[in-house]
Amino acid sequence: MNFDALPLEDPAAQARLHARLVADAEREGLLDLAYRTVDTPVGSLLLAATPVGLVRVVYENVGHDAELTRLTETVSPRVLHAPARLDTVAWQLDEYFAGRRTAFDVPLDLRLARGFRLAVVEHLPAIQYGRTETYAQVAAAAGSPKAVRAVGTACATNPVPVVVPCHRVVRSDGSFGGYAGGRDAKRTLLTLEAA
């Protein structure tokens, strides 16, 4: 006698219960962090949002699971897979990658960027679609012309890449420079925007 006969999973019931939990948690203000993934030409992106707005976009090479665990520590352990809160940004990403959108219009929660890094991240949306700025230009725009290396760090740690366009910051010799999603991803985005 054992319980092997009882299946470990009941996907239909679990999906139904999960949807009910998301709705209950949302209603009671307990859904601190909603997440989903979207498939894009630069790979699967993990999107996470607080009630304030989009808080994190994560490339696959960073590790979705590892980053979710970090978010439970830095933002809140009240995390649920809840795609609805991220429908708007997912839909705008689709349009962007299809070449039909040049700017994102979603609320952002930039709590994961602080100090000078936040100043850089707040400046980045001013770089127009299809244009680029050098790290030195961004440093000047963020109020610290000498902080060129710090701009590199701020771009590399941009919590919401793609949506906040750190990929539009390049080296002064015209080469792409590094990128959170890898150099190939940066090339893909800049090529898409140049078309």
Buried b (16+ CB within 10 A) or exposed e, 32-49: bbbbbbbebebbebbbbb
Q: Which is nearer to other proteins, 77 or 174 (CB)?
A: 77
- Position 65 contacts other proteins (CB under 8 A): no
Binds other proteins by CB under 8 A, chosen from 65, 77, 146, 173? 77
Cα–Cα distance measured from residue 33 to residue 129, given in angstroms and rounded to the nearest whole number: 29
Q: What is the DSSP string of 80-122?
A: EE-GGGGHHHHHHHHHHHTT--SS----B--TT--HHHHHHHH
Encoding tokens for residue 96?
Answer: 């962007």
Size of the site for other proteins (CB under 8 A): 28
Binds other proteins by CB under 8 A, chosen from 62, 80, 136, 140? 80
- Position 7 contacts other proteins (CB under 8 A): yes
- Position 24 contacts other proteins (CB under 8 A): yes
Q: Which is nearer to other proteins, 22 or 166 (CB)?
A: 22
Q: How far is the CB of 59 from other proteins (least distance, A)?
A: 22
- Position 16 contacts other proteins (CB under 8 A): yes
- Position 153 contacts other proteins (CB under 8 A): no
- Which are the catalytic amino acids? 166
Q: How far is the CB of 148 from other proteins (least distance, A)?
A: 40
Interface stretch with other proteins, choices 28-36, 59-67, 111-119, 124-132 (CB under 8 A): 28-36
Cα–Cα distance measured from residue 158 to residue 63, given in angstroms and rounded to the nearest whole number: 16
- Position 95 contacts other proteins (CB under 8 A): no
Cα–Cα distance measured from residue 72 to residue 176, given in angstroms and rounded to the nearest whole number: 33
Query: Which ranges constitute the DSSP H helices of the chain?
Result: 11-27, 64-74, 87-97, 115-123, 135-141, 148-156, 183-194
The residues of the shown chain that bind other proteins, judged by CB under 8 A, are: 1-3, 5-10, 12-14, 16-18, 20-21, 24-25, 28, 30-31, 76-81
